[in-house]
Structure 1
């Protein structure tokens, strides 16, 4: 069987942006099956057994392919090669996915299919699917998504002029969104078994009943909540609708601050939630902002994660010794968006930074530099220059425009970036099986 030339089809990579987490990647082979290498991708083999697993998923779930008869589909094989290259790139950058993240995705997939996690596992077993391979496929897809995020966020720049041009062409975006004054109670679920989830759900309903019977919401938060706002009684202040998860918005839209200000129990990947609505506004929202500088050091094929961590520690020592932050930004920072402005990220809104970065910044006294903070982008040295509360209503439209432009440019950039990665990659087609797969 002849293979297509080693030319990367853009439509194949675009399909990766729409790839579903819910693969079905396991199959039981006959005792006579002999595995073999189909392709070597940057010195990592891609085997016939891996292909058969993926082909079966496409046949059973996607319906695009007929059951495997020994013929290798070139388009599917190309897609698998592209995914393997992206996983390798993610590993080079130190990107990882925790077991807790995989657990949360498995639970989400179960909920999307209206079943419990236990029922999902039982269904996988009935279909001949190995749970460990199902989890492995989820982990790989999450690594690819994190890689896409890292590449886009480290390289895409949206200018003020682009935003203004977009707003001029979409004047309807200048209308202000509704805002909510809200408090939040969160119960995290560490051991996400069905029994534990059911138990915590029952406890949350009992706690909600106690609040309705007179227990102050802020007292309940301080005693039971796992959220970062616990010491403030769960008070989040005024939040615009675009600063709140859709799960919260659906509940808040049906609530009244005078007659029905307590939400039902809400459930997400992060745990169980209760909201208290204090007020509703037409767009004005005071937001606590931070003026932040940072130095970002990123791992690559020449520098391992450990080497980058050591470099970040040495830069931190130089800062403690009195070296200029702006000078070290110019020497070491790999954030192209902020490097020319002394590492400044400007005034940063809550929720616009990755959690590890945001938590470190919130805990810093003004003017003090953090120790190296690891995120999926690399290692950061962070300095908070100032804090303020400001009405952000007039910036809602600009934020929406920025996000739209960013997504378009990020997609284009990632496609071009990966095209160059693939052109430089070592890809060798080794063997194609005959119709028996032996």
Structure 2
């Protein structure tokens, strides 16, 4: 048995053990992710899944006689990861990613499984070290893990015992999932607790983001799901490109994008199945922008190499930018037929003037109208200003947000308009709180990635 120092995230697979794992892991049963769309460790959402053909069935490979002997797969700072641990994590990865195992992609599963196990070992070692220094518990308890598992089962309309039995039916020891949940819960809580309170998103950052979104309002926008393969994590750009190529092939054959993103993506969007929402040019690397320009809604990209890894994107929808203006309106009105008398119109105007005097803007227009008999009020929603009737358009163009119009006569009655919002067509509807939350999440994700990079760099990791 030989050993080698492990580059950050690099797996040195041995041919003999790889053949044994292939025989043990090539199974004909459908992956859990395709059948149930499980969250987190078990997942797949229809919103992010590109149109695809039926995945081909892979003929089962007979398992070798007897039980696969357990040996050392890796040593992480003197702690062992066994070949049993590795085989079980590969089974879990296959079941939850929706990717059909083949002889060609099993090395990628082995690489990803071992990288994940090594990372989790490093995380738990760091948490225990910090716990000793701070004299507090940082690792999730059995009760917390069971609660998370119950939540996952509930989202799949299953009881916890049914969920566990579904794992066992695929040859997966439930302890494999428990350990993954324990490491993920504990690490996320530690990162947020240690760094979250220190992060400050300033007004200048929020204003800069708002200005960028407003400037991009006239440009096309893309609704995107993403998978990002971190080259540093998987042992170099060649491994990242090779792995991304195999994932694209599997997704084209039916593997759910969201499930693949949850298990393979290093992006902060992985927990949401890779959903990056609506983005404008400039939010992702230029190479990704160029690829998005060539895609049609529903299409999946080929691997897109960037400076530090490889992207796969699924373009779910696209909308053109424009120079138009969208306006959000409310109204208070008194219904009047076209042939109403001057006296009726005058009486209706008095009522609406009373509403205008009592209301301060959109927030209390309906309350003010409700106190005046014969006046009705409601939300007209958002519309392109050019699509409004002539009377409404002329009034709305001269109003600022929060202002109320003079009474407007139409064939339906007398109306007072309130402008509740105005934005450029195509402009993001994110408010300041939502922008702050997005920036906070991005910075926290970046800190976590750097933390893990440092832990890998200072660790002693051997593979056998």
What's the TM-score, normalizing by structure 1?
0.38
The structure having more radius of gyration, on CA atoms, is: 2
